[in-house]
């Protein structure tokens, strides 16, 4: 939802009259536009310089570098490129739901493509491992080792580093190419806008350069090679600007860009969650730095987005606004509004005439609405039943369960709740850029709040560790161990599991509460709509129940406790429906919901990337299952959103 969406979506598709009407670049300063495009692209070399100066032989520093890069890539994929994909498909005259469907499929196509390329590359590398080893070992060894420095890398580890750098470089180049076109053409159209846009792009290009340079320096020991390849990846930005000016603006259409964006987003997500983050956690096994650097990377990217809004009053933005759909919806996210956005944003805020105009719930069937709300909420118990039946003492199964839950929570936070936050702030009469800024701050406020609660909880737990240990060890030990089963959990590990379950339960309850209000009131207003909405909510409640139940079962050995707490977390859905009908629909306003949504999204992101995913990788150290189950969780959530739109 940034500069690229406001300007790529309307300026990048030059040659299409509905996009370029009134925009004239014939008299622009091509030299100034090319200079800005070049500077924005070559900001990747600043990231390379950081890797150049940093001691990446120190595993802590290396983990921080990779975590930072992963956070940037993940956030830019979800909050920028995914929106651009959907918007471009709409510019190609697809309906909103068709654009959303094709956009989602294209992104997952990018993930699958990256997996395929990785598999082929691995096969080729392993076939010629001896020759590769000869080449790699010519690199100088690190001069010194310290306590935080790992032993010299094996051939396999070096190959993994080089493969990760290659993937990152390709993704950065693909991402930078259309940004170069956008920067150049928008600067030609309005020179006053160019510096802000170039600055915003440069800000998130820095850690992208770091993502390319750090693994190369780690694998080869060569600072020059690291700097050179980060430099090359950044050259695609001015190249895109030049080709966009000379050739491509009259050749490529919005559908081509949509596919381009979607594949790029998928590749970046693969890099973030299959390469960067797992590798960072391998070098930071206690997760002392990785998750925090991941959130810092997200913050870097988020900071760069409002920078472009500061000049959103220029004539190009007005041109964009004049071609909008004419609705009050948040333009950058209008293409991925889901069930909660369509119905929470207009039905949930009852009592506000601009939201409830024409909506009558006085004659609805309250019993039917409550039944649907109850069934949707208690789908969490299906997730609990999966944990109930699965052998979570098998570390592979446990890692898959946590990875699946992390994927669902991350996707629902980025693709649903973040949009709902921004839309609700707009419904509270904030401008688009103010809503975006406050929405982003609220989400990061949720992350900080979760960190604070975790810190307080850890202090309390450790203060009473002996008493807690007595309670926990009353749980029955697993009856058998196999080769894939870890030794019995220590007290600290069990406390971590229970803390993770508590966080997940709170987040699921917070998330389900407004969904319950939405399901109930929308079913009362239109009973034919209720079953589809309840089904969509139930689909993503299943793995959320799994996120609550699996850690409890792992920590206590009690299937009943796991099932019970997942059941309790799901009860907030019918409770929300009941209170929404009786009391809250005329009390709570959109600003309250915006804060509620934003904090919930932040808490869920904290759970996903500080708890669920790192814990899954701890029990799956070779990442044989975790990343794939994470992508599967994303697919579950995406499927529920698509199913709802076509219901």
The length of the chain is: 647
Give mean pLDDT, residues 44-73. 82
User: Residue 507 in contact with residue 453, Cβ under 8 Å?
Assistant: no
Q: Quick check: is 286 in a domain? A: yes
Q: Quick check: is 351 in a domain? A: no
Better-predicted residue by pLDDT, 141 or 185: 185
* Cα–Cα nearest to 637, from 529, 537, 506: 537
pLDDT of residue 146: 45
Same-domain pairing of 263 and 128: yes
pLDDT of residue 363: 55
Q: Quick check: is 319 in a domain? A: no
pLDDT of residue 94: 92
Same-domain pairing of 306 and 371: no
Buried b (16+ CB within 10 A) or exposed e, 135-163: ebeeeeebeeeeeebeeebebebbbbbbb
Give mean pLDDT, residues 33-54. 81
Confidence of residue 464 (pLDDT cuts 50, 70, 90): low
Q: Quick check: is 24 in a domain? A: no
pLDDT of residue 440: 92
Q: Quick check: is 525 in a domain? A: yes
Q: How many domains does the chain have?
A: 2
Q: How far apart are CA 308 and CA 193, in angstroms?
A: 8
Cβ-based neighbours of 21, under 8 Å, separated by 6 or more: 319, 323
Give mean pLDDT, residues 456-479. 54
Mean residue pLDDT across the chain: 73
Choose the weakest-confidence range: 79-88, 316-325, 465-474.
Answer: 316-325
Q: Quick check: is 20 in a domain? A: no
Same-domain pairing of 88 and 236: yes
Q: How far apart are CA 633 and CA 383, in angstroms?
A: 12
Give mean pLDDT, residues 381-397. 79
Give yes or no for residue 445 having a pLDDT over 80.
yes
* Last-in-domain residue among 269, 295, 313: 313
Give yes or no for residue 27 having a pLDDT over 70.
no
Q: Residue 383 has which token pair?
A: 């997730």
Digit-coded pLDDT (tens) for 297-348: 899 888 876 544 443 333 333 333 333 333 333 333 233 233 333 443 333 3
pLDDT of residue 322: 37
Same-domain pairing of 49 and 130: yes
Q: How far apart are CA 1 and CA 79, in angstroms?
A: 6
pLDDT of residue 200: 67
Cβ-based neighbour number of residue 544 at 10 Å: 29
pLDDT of residue 26: 52
pLDDT of residue 23: 43
pLDDT of residue 111: 93
Choose the weakest-confidence range: 93-97, 319-323, 432-436.
Answer: 319-323
Same-domain pairing of 407 and 549: yes
Same-domain pairing of 370 and 309: no
Rg (CA), the chain: 25
Better-predicted residue by pLDDT, 449 or 354: 449
Same-domain pairing of 286 and 374: no
pTM exceeding 0.75:
no
Q: Quick check: is 537 in a domain? A: yes
Q: What angle do CA 311, 418, 270 make, to 5 degrees?
A: 95
Which range, 328-337, 421-430, 492-501, is most confident? 421-430
Same-domain pairing of 299 and 372: no
Same-domain pairing of 306 and 372: no
User: Residue 188 in contact with residue 25, Cβ under 8 Å?
Assistant: yes
pLDDT of residue 120: 76
* Cα–Cα nearest to 256, from 33, 24, 84: 84
Same-domain pairing of 297 and 370: no
Which range, 134-143, 246-255, 591-600, is most confident? 591-600
Digit-coded pLDDT (tens) for 362-376: 556 778 888 888 888
Choose the weakest-confidence range: 104-108, 118-122, 354-358, 413-417.
Answer: 354-358
Digit-coded pLDDT (tens) for 554-564: 888 788 888 88
Give yes or no for residue 349 having a pLDDT over 70.
no
Give mean pLDDT, residues 253-272. 84
Q: Taking the mean position of all CA atoms in its chain, how far away is CA 156?
A: 29
Same-domain pairing of 418 and 300: no
Digit-coded pLDDT (tens) for 603-645: 889 888 988 899 889 889 889 999 999 999 999 889 888 877 7
Query: What is the full DSSP assignment across 531-554?
Result: HHHHHHHHHHHHHHHHHHHHHHHH
- DSSP single-letter state for residue 525: H
* Last-in-domain residue among 290, 313, 336: 313
Better-predicted residue by pLDDT, 545 or 187: 545
Better-predicted residue by pLDDT, 383 or 609: 609
Digit-coded pLDDT (tens) for 113-162: 888 877 876 676 556 544 544 444 444 444 444 445 556 667 777 777 77
Cβ-based neighbour number of residue 623 at 10 Å: 21
Confidence of residue 380 (pLDDT cuts 50, 70, 90): confident
Cβ-based neighbours of 41, under 8 Å, separated by 6 or more: 176, 179, 180, 201, 205, 234, 235, 236, 237, 238
Helices (H), 254-413: 254-270, 277-283, 290-309, 315-322, 339, 353-356, 366-377, 380-389, 395-412
pLDDT of residue 328: 33
Q: Quick check: is 233 in a domain? A: yes
* Last-in-domain residue among 313, 341, 375: 313
Q: How far apart are CA 540 and CA 161, in angstroms?
A: 35
Give mean pLDDT, residues 54-71. 83
Confidence of residue 397 (pLDDT cuts 50, 70, 90): confident
Q: Which helix (H) or strand (E) holds 363?
A: none
Task: Look up the domain containing 35 and give its range.
Answer: 3-12+30-138+162-313
Angle between helices 559-570 and 530-556 (to 10 degrees): 150
Confidence of residue 539 (pLDDT cuts 50, 70, 90): confident
Same-domain pairing of 621 and 514: yes
Q: How far is CA 174 from CA 53, 177, 210, in A?
A: 27, 5, 16
Better-predicted residue by pLDDT, 446 or 146: 446
pLDDT of residue 98: 93
User: Percent of the chain having pLDDT more than 70?
Assistant: 70
């Amino acid at each position: 939802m940034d500069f690229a969406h406001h300007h790529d979506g309307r300026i990048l598709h030059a040659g299409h009259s509905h996009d370029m009407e009134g925009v004239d670049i014939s008299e622009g300063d091509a030299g100034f536009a090319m200079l800005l495009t070049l500077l924005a692209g070559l900001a990747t070399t600043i990231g390379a310089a950081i890797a150049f100066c940093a001691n990446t032989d120190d595993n802590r520093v290396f983990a921080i570098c990779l975590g930072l890069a992963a956070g940037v890539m993940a956030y830019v994929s979800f909050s920028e490129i995914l929106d651009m994909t959907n918007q471009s498909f709409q510019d190609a005259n697809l309906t909103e739901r068709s654009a959303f469907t094709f956009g989602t499929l294209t992104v997952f196509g990018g993930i699958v493509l990256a997996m395929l390329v990785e598999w082929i590359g691995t096969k080729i590398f392993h076939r010629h491992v001896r020759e590769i080893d000869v080449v790699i070992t010519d690199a100088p060894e690190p001069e010194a080792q310290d306590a935080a420095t790992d032993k010299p890398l094996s051939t396999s580890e070096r190959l993994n580093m080089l493969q990760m750098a290659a993937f990152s470089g390709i993704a950065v180049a693909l991402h930078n190419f259309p940004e170069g076109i956008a920067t150049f053409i928008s600067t030609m159209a309005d020179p006053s806008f160019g510096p802000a846009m170039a600055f915003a792009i440069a800000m998130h290009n820095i850690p992208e350069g770091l993502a390319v340079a750090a693994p190369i320096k780690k694998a080869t020991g060569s600072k020059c090679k690291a700097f050179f390849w980060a430099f090359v990846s950044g050259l695609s930005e001015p190249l895109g600007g030049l080709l966009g000016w000379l050739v491509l603006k009259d050749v490529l259409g919005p559908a081509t860009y949509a596919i381009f964006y979607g594949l790029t987003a998928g590749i970046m997500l693969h890099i973030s969650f299959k390469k960067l983050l797992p590798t960072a956690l391998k070098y930071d096994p206690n997760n002392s730095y990785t998750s925090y650097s991941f959130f810092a990377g997200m913050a870097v990217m988020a900071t760069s987005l409002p920078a472009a809004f500061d000049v959103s009053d220029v004539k190009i933005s007005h041109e964009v606004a004049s071609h909008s759909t004419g609705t009050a919806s948040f333009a950058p996210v209008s293409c991925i509004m889901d069930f909660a956005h369509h119905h929470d944003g207009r039905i949930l805020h009852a009592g506000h005439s601009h939201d409830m105009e024409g909506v009558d719930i006085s004659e609805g069937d309250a019993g039917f609405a409550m039944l649907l709300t109850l069934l949707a909420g208690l789908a969490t118990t299906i997730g609990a039943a999966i944990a109930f039946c699965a052998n979570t003492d098998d570390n592979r199964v446990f890692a898959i369960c946590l990875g699946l839950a992390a994927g669902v929570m991350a996707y629902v936070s980025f693709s649903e709740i973040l949009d709902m936050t921004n839309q609700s702030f707009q419904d509270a009469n904030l401008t688009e850029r103010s809503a975006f800024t406050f929405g982003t701050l609220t989400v990061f406020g949720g992350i900080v709040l979760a960190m604070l609660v975790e810190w307080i909880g850890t202090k309390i737990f450790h203060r009473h560790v002996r008493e807690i240990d007595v309670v926990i060890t009353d749980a029955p030990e697993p009856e058998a161990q196999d080769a894939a089963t870890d030794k019995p959990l220590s007290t600290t590990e069990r406390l971590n599991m229970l803390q993770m379950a508590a966080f997940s339960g709170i987040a699921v309850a917070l998330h389900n509460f407004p969904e319950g209000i939405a399901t109930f009131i929308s079913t009362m207003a239109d009973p034919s709509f209720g079953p589809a909405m309840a089904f969509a909510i139930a689909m993503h409640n299943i793995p959320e129940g799994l996120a609550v139940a699996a850690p409890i079962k792992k920590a206590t050995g009690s299937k009943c406790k796991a099932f019970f707490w997942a059941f309790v977390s799901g009860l907030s859905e019918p409770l929300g429906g009941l209170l929404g009908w009786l009391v809250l629909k005329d009390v709570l306003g959109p600003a309250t919901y915006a804060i509620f949504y934003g904090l919930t999204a932040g808490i869920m992101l904290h759970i996903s990337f500080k708890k669920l995913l790192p814990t899954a990788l701890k029990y799956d150290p070779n990442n044989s299952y975790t990343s794939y189950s994470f992508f599967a969780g994303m697919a579950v959530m995406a499927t529920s959103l698509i199913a709802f739109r076509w219901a």
